[in-house]
Amino acid sequence: SRKPCRIWQKESLKRQWKFGNVMQPDTYYFSGHDDFRKESALNRLKEKLLDKTSLDLNFNVYYGKESQARDIIQSLSTPPFLGKFRLIVLKEAERLPSQEKKILANHIKNHKSSSVVFAVLSSAYSKTTKDPFFEILRQRAECRDFGDVAPEKVSEWIKRQLNEKGKSIEPN
């Protein structure tokens, strides 16, 4: 039987980061249409896990179409240098060739370290994909789907974004 994806409760990650309690799973799976919110979550994760002095040494970004599993695995197997965490980002994971996905999936099944692998996915690979690579991610990862913001919630979302930056907006 398949273990369900551990989905973050709405706002729970933001609350944990606000109070300095960073979750420390070794795999994150962000999917959905909204690239802006995925990038924002990635940036918050990066700020919490990596300090400025070791950022260049402990942060790697790979793009699915241009990457090979062995390079990603090598980064995942390299311990952090002058820092507590190493953040490995795989963007456009759905574009990783099938054979490379198989190799990487085998590694992710057993991945346990102070490194973090983080997959950012396109809208084509949401929670419902049947691709075995993403099935494994759903089993192993902390998951968050960044679908489109519902039209009736856009103004609320904009206010929250401004509030986080110390700004406000008033209706006309």
Q: What is the pLDDT of residue 34?
A: 85
Six-digit token string for 152:
């009736």
Distance between CA atoms of residues 83 and 64, nearest Å: 27
Q: In what order do the strands lie in the sheet with 6-7?
A: 6-7, 142-145, 27-31, 115-120, 86-91, 59-63
Cα 124-129-135 angle, rounded to 5 deg = 130
> Are 134 and 95 contacting, i.e. CB atoms less than 8 angstroms apart?
no
**131 exposure class (CB count in 10 Å sphere: 0-12, 13-18, 19+):** middle
Tell me, what's the pLDDT at 122?
Answer: 58
Q: List the one residue out of 161, 154, 159, 160 whose CA is nearest residue 169.
A: 159
Return per-residue pLDDT of the chain as tens, 172 residues.
Answer: 334 444 444 445 555 544 455 556 678 888 888 888 888 888 888 888 888 888 889 999 999 999 999 999 999 988 888 888 889 999 988 899 999 999 999 988 887 765 666 766 655 555 667 788 888 888 888 888 887 777 787 878 788 777 877 887 777 6
Label residues 42-57 b or e (16+ Cβ within 10 Å = b).
Answer: bebbbebbbeeebeee
What's the confidence (pLDDT) of residue 9?
A: 43
- The predicted model scores a pTM of 0.78
The pLDDT, as a whole number, for residue 8 is 46
Q: How many helices (H) and strands (E) does the chain have?
A: 7, 6
Q: Angle at the Cα of 16 (from 140 to 163), degrees rounded to 5?
A: 125
Q: What is the pLDDT of residue 17?
A: 47
